[in-house]
Chains A and B, each alone.
Chain A
């Protein structure tokens, strides 16, 4: 499926709220648990439009995760609304003991994931959620690229029996997927074909990777782009096939340790050792600043991705 950076923009958090209402209307088992962030995560749409399905849990994530587990044992599908930084860290032991180990059907929405959190900085930037979540046995881990994929991923997650973590970004981004896109958990999407080098990306970083592909094409570099919205289970077959170009750059709005880059390196190391570069946030904490300044300083712009590709090809 060839993906193109479109004219439309959408904020994944708006899609989160809209799609929760959609799920509630088609599935009587769906309830939303909020950690007092609904008007940021946009789960407040549920509070306003389907209040009987909205359960405020207050600023107490550990309890919220446990409540979700209990509900899931009774056949309900709780969707948790919180920031990625809190829901991944504050209640990690609860997630481990009462959700992941029993394999309960809890859906976790990690809002404001990655570097761009609306001027809130280090405490609110969750840049290791993929690494943490994918090390949890039984978890499904998803990072959608745009609004269309965020909705499609939520529909697929609701149909999946077991715990799912989906990270959502805060701010509007260009749409790259067609409206009729159907999400398949565990399947990569070859967004561009090319022969010189491969970029493997996830989440909104795929939008920037697409822009990088355009920059590199103008220089005569033919890039294959594999978008991996599901980091766990990893589409190993697609990763190995994509590496046929002989050079791989991974790109993610996440630390370079243990996330997509780590997962791809593990897969290629075992199945097809390939020269690699990992683009993402270096092993450091972030700070509060305007989006463009952050993307530039922490190396996530399309130009940064393109530069990594050139460097790898020159080696």
Chain B
């Protein structure tokens, strides 16, 4: 990091390169498995890279360290994004990504903490990630640990009522050691029609006015561009230092990085064809070239 808390240009380039690699690996894994989610993992890729390469206090060689920061992927269907990030960060070999969704694989369709070291909580049923985060943050306080707990939420994920039960309780306990990041990509699996109906590709936003909502629940809020690694890292450092639980509302684009997947709900969960895979890899190669 440079003196003003911003990432150095060199570090920023490393993180951007890592995010491109995460996108490449996750698209390849979904193509190889013939199933899986793409839109959500792509929208979360920069956030995951910022977390695992810059913000989380973790050691991939010691994934059960009691003092480690905790991370929960509440939007568990973005598992392949998390797996690709973990692999890039050294939790396991990148080659294992091709076992995604296979029988007996540690890389289950939705994260399973009982089989993959580095997963702090099983998830996959939406709306459930923030509550265990409260439990971990409370445990840190009760046991005198100073680790931080991070939860990545989706905006569809946040339609579940449990998120708001959790939001109320976290603020009542003033859990400053808890940070949620909202991957606010605006779309969900199918969504609500606009005035032109369901035949149109357009959809109403999955979540409206999240900053106001979370603030009204007593949370500190930080609004950022969820694809700007500098902004994500800066927001994470500020969130760690806040006394109230903090939500980082990260404006993102579903399908980010692959032009033909962006902002199209149909790419929520669809494996790319061979041609689409090549086109996607080509776009990512061009992005890497331009760094």
Contact = CB atoms under 8 A, between A and B. Distances in A.
Interface of A: 31, 55, 57-58, 60, 62-76, 78, 93-94, 96-98, 101-103
- Give me the 9 closest cross-chain CB pairs, A-B, nearest first: A70-B135, A66-B131, A70-B132, A74-B139, A60-B165, A63-B165, A71-B135, A67-B135, A62-B162
Given A60-B168, A71-B138, 9 more contacts: A63-B169, A66-B128, A67-B134, A70-B136, A70-B139, A75-B143, A94-B128, A98-B123, A102-B121
Contacts of A60: 162, 165-166, 168-169
- Chain B interface SS verdict (over half): helix
Interface in B114-151: 114, 120-125, 127-128, 130-140, 142-143, 149
By secondary structure, the A interface counts as: helix
B121 A98 contact: yes
B183 interface: no
B5 interface: no
Contacts of B133: 70
Contact of A70 (B114, B131, B172): B131
Residue of A31, A71, A78, A94 with highest tally of chain B CB at under 10 A: A71
Given A76-B139, A76-B142, A97 B131 contact: no
B65 to A, nearest CB: 12
A93 B161 CA distance: 13
Interface residues of B, number: 34
16 contacts: A58-B168, A58-B172, A60-B168, A62-B127, A62-B165, A63-B169, A64-B131, A66-B128, A70-B121, A71-B136, A73-B139, A74-B139, A75-B139, A78-B135, A98-B121, A102-B121
Given A73-B136, A74-B136, A65 B131 contact: yes
A63 B113 CA distance: 19
B135 A58 contact: no
B141 to A, nearest CB: 11
